[in-house]
Amino acid sequence: MATHKQKPTAITWRQPDGQPVSCYDKIAVLNQNLNDLRQESQDVLEDALLMGCDEAQVRDVLEEIIRKLDNPFKKQSS
Q: Please report whether residue 58 resides in a domain.
A: yes
In this prediction, residue 44 carries a pLDDT of 98
Q: Please report whether residue 11 resides in a domain.
A: no
Q: What's the structural domain count of the chain?
A: 1
Q: Which residues partner with 14 through β-bridges?
A: 20
Q: Which residues partner with 20 through β-bridges?
A: 14
Q: Residue 6: pLDDT above 80?
A: no
pTM: 0.78
Close Cβ partners of 51 (under 8 Å, ≥ 6 residues apart): none
In this prediction, residue 75 carries a pLDDT of 83
| CB neighbours of residue 30 within 10 Å | 14
The domain of 54 spans 24-67
For the stretch 14-73, pLDDT in tens is 999 999 999 999 999 999 999 999 999 999 999 999 999 999 999 999 999 999 999 999
**Which of these, 67, 34, 47, lies nearest to 55 by C-alpha position?**
47
45 with 55: CB under 8 angstroms?
Answer: yes
